[in-house]
Amino acid sequence: MARTMAEKVWEEHVVRRADGEPDLLYIDLHLVHEVTSPQAFEGLRLAGRGVRRPDLTVATEDHNVPTENILGPIADKVSRTQIETLRKNAAEFGVRLFPMGDIDQGIVHVVGPQMGLTQPGMTIVCGDSHTSTHGAFGALAFGIGTSQVEHVLATQTLPMTPFKTMAVTVNGTLKPGVTAKDIILAVIAEIGTGGGQGYVIEYRGEAIRALSMEARMTICNMSIEAGARAGMIAPDQTTFDYIEGRPHAPAGADFEAAVEHWKSLRSDEDAVFDKEVVLDADRLSPFVTWGTNPGQGVPLDAEVPDPAEMAGADDRAAAEKALSYMDLRAGTRMRDIRVDTVFLGSCTNGRIEDLRAAAEVIKGRKVADGVRMLVVPGSMRVKEQANEEGLGEVFKAAGAEWREAGCSMCLGMNPDQLKPGERSASTSNRNFEGRQGKGGRTHLVSPLVAAATAVRGTLSSPADL
């Protein structure tokens, strides 16, 4: 029977199947960070259990970490305790950890791929919803809660009920200035924040094939914002080239064998998806959000929508509430919206290509008066590479703050936060109320729009400069 890629990867990982029970799936890689793991390790301790496969587990410090003065003690006592708890747990249970100051430290979803730990056909989990990022390699990767973190630590498996499958096909070619971020924001606006609920999305089509690995990660990363647990892209030469030579990638004959296997993972020609969505890349333009969920987005060329013109009562009520929180009026041109802060970073857009794209726009220009621009690389390796390429200097010369690696203002668990009433253009993934700081207002944008917005002080694309 013809199968989709997600079904193939699933089948390869079934440890046990029994009538009336969820499948028990084997997990190839478990990524751990400080926020969703302490209660899981404590659970192991209380039950007298160990970590079954520390060699398939790796931890990094990312959510809480300051992005300045990282070698001193963390000022926030509660954050410090959480980081220290991870260090203690990693040592006690034999899990490899990348602490602050380590060259391999960074956001968990940036670290896995850059080390070559993320490979096609694997099952990958993490106590973080943006684990969907790793699906860009053709891995089945999804976020889990702390109970499941404990379950994977103890057994290296998870009981799972099968997902449905959805194909999102993006045909055509992106226009210059339009990026992967614009594709995924348009997809979410199209299918809604609950549209992917219960599905694994497979992104396909000419426009997806043309994307780099990093751009593919941006797309898969935000699958969760469309309600899907996982997003996947079939591995191809772009994938193989990205993986080859990385520290944990197979080498020599193993690499040849791996590629042979990876090529077999793509969905069969006649595989049937439970749902199909088609988009035309030629018609996409830079996309930005106006509301308080990632589905509330419009093209940058558009205006703030009028709730009165929305069809569903729920949508209308949600839009009214969002506009009130965002302090926006229907009919305002998106380009006229002034921001206080620009945040470039996160597991969505904190990779080297994102920094290059933004630096290209901002080079020789200045961040507008009254605007603060925070540039936070996704990992210390990204920072190192950016410095080698002179990007750090470009950002600093423009008046931006060039920080250390971490999740930072994406969720404001460290000191990088919006103040009440402040407004940001952010390359992160969620514009929820208060996400970037209590009372803060977030517009999700691509790195190109972020950079142009920093220069003009209002939501802008590079074409406006």
Partner 1 sequence: MEKFTVHTGRGAPLRASNVDTDQIIPAVYLKRVARTGFEDGLFAAWRANDPDFVLNREAYRGSDVLIAGPDFGTGSSREHAVWALQDYGFKAVLSPRFADIFRGNALKGGLLAVVLPQPVIERLWAIVEADPSAPVTVDLVEREVRAPGLTEPFEIDDYTRWRLMEGLDDIALTLRHTDDIDAYEETRRSWLPVTR
Binders of partner 1 in range 298-317 (CB under 8 A): 314, 317
Size of the site for partner 1 (CB under 8 A): 83
Closest CA to 81 of 34, 15, 138: 34
Longest distance between any two alpha carbons in the chain, whole Å:
65
Taking CB under 8 A as the criterion, the residue among 293, 346, 348, 426 binding partner 1 is 293
Positions in 365-404 near partner 1 (CB under 8 A): none
Asked whether the beta carbons of 289 and 188 are under 8 A apart, the reply is no
Beta bridge partners of 204: 169
Asked whether the beta carbons of 58 and 96 are under 8 A apart, the reply is yes
* Tokens found for residue 349: 């857009």
Taking CB under 8 A as the criterion, the residue among 265, 318, 342, 444 binding partner 1 is 318
For partner 1, which stretch binds (CB under 8 A), given 49-57, 165-173, 209-217, 275-283? 49-57
What three-state secondary structure class fits 26? strand
Taking CB under 8 A as the criterion, the residue among 4, 57, 179, 349 binding partner 1 is 57
Please tell me whether residue 29 binds partner 1 under the rule CB under 8 A: yes
Q: Can you spell out the DSSP letters for 139-202?
A: -EEEE--HHHHHHHHHHSEEEEPPPEEEEEEEES-PPTT--HHHHHHHHHHHH-TTTTTTEEEE
Taking CB under 8 A as the criterion, the residue among 188, 277, 334, 411 binding partner 1 is 411
Which residues have C-beta within 8 Å of that of residue 435, sequence separation ≥ 6?
Answer: 410, 411, 412, 442
* Tokens found for residue 417: 């936060």
Taking CB under 8 A as the criterion, the residue among 167, 258, 400, 409 binding partner 1 is 258
Question: What does the alpha-carbon distance between residue 435 and residue 358 come to, in Å, rounded to a whole number?
Answer: 23
Positions in 116-155 near partner 1 (CB under 8 A): 116-117, 119, 122, 127-129, 131, 143-148, 150-151, 154-155
Please tell me whether residue 272 binds partner 1 under the rule CB under 8 A: no
Rounded to the nearest whole angstrom, what is the least distance from the CB of residue 401 to partner 1 in the complex?
21
Asked whether the beta carbons of 44 and 156 are under 8 A apart, the reply is no
Burial 242-280 (b: 16+ CB within 10 A, else e): bbeebeebbeeeeeeebbeebeebbbeeebebeeebebe
For partner 1, which stretch binds (CB under 8 A), given 22-30, 179-187, 297-305, 393-401? 22-30
First-to-final CA distance of the chain: 54
DSSP assignment, residue 458?
B
x/- track of binding to partner 1 for residues 422-441 (CB under 8 A): --------x-xxxx--x---
Question: What does the alpha-carbon distance between residue 76 and residue 38 come to, in Å, rounded to a whole number?
Answer: 17
Taking CB under 8 A as the criterion, the residue among 10, 26, 287, 395 binding partner 1 is 26
x/- track of binding to partner 1 for residues 58-97 (CB under 8 A): x----xx-----------x-xx-xx--x----------x-
Please tell me whether residue 38 binds partner 1 under the rule CB under 8 A: yes
Rounded to the nearest whole angstrom, what is the least distance from the CB of residue 216 to partner 1 in the complex?
19
Rounded to the nearest whole angstrom, what is the least distance from the CB of residue 159 to partner 1 in the complex?
6
Q: Based on CB atoms, which residue is closest to partner 1, 42 or 393?
A: 42
Rounded to the nearest whole angstrom, what is the least distance from the CB of residue 41 to partner 1 in the complex?
9
State phi, psi for 8 to the nearest 5 degrees: -65, -45
Taking CB under 8 A as the criterion, the residue among 106, 377, 412, 447 binding partner 1 is 412
Closest CA to 210 of 244, 231, 179, 184: 179
Q: Based on CB atoms, which residue is closest to partner 1, 258 or 386?
A: 258
Q: Based on CB atoms, which residue is closest to partner 1, 7 or 128?
A: 128
Positions in 159-218 near partner 1 (CB under 8 A): 159, 161, 193-194, 197-198
Q: Based on CB atoms, which residue is closest to partner 1, 249 or 337?
A: 249
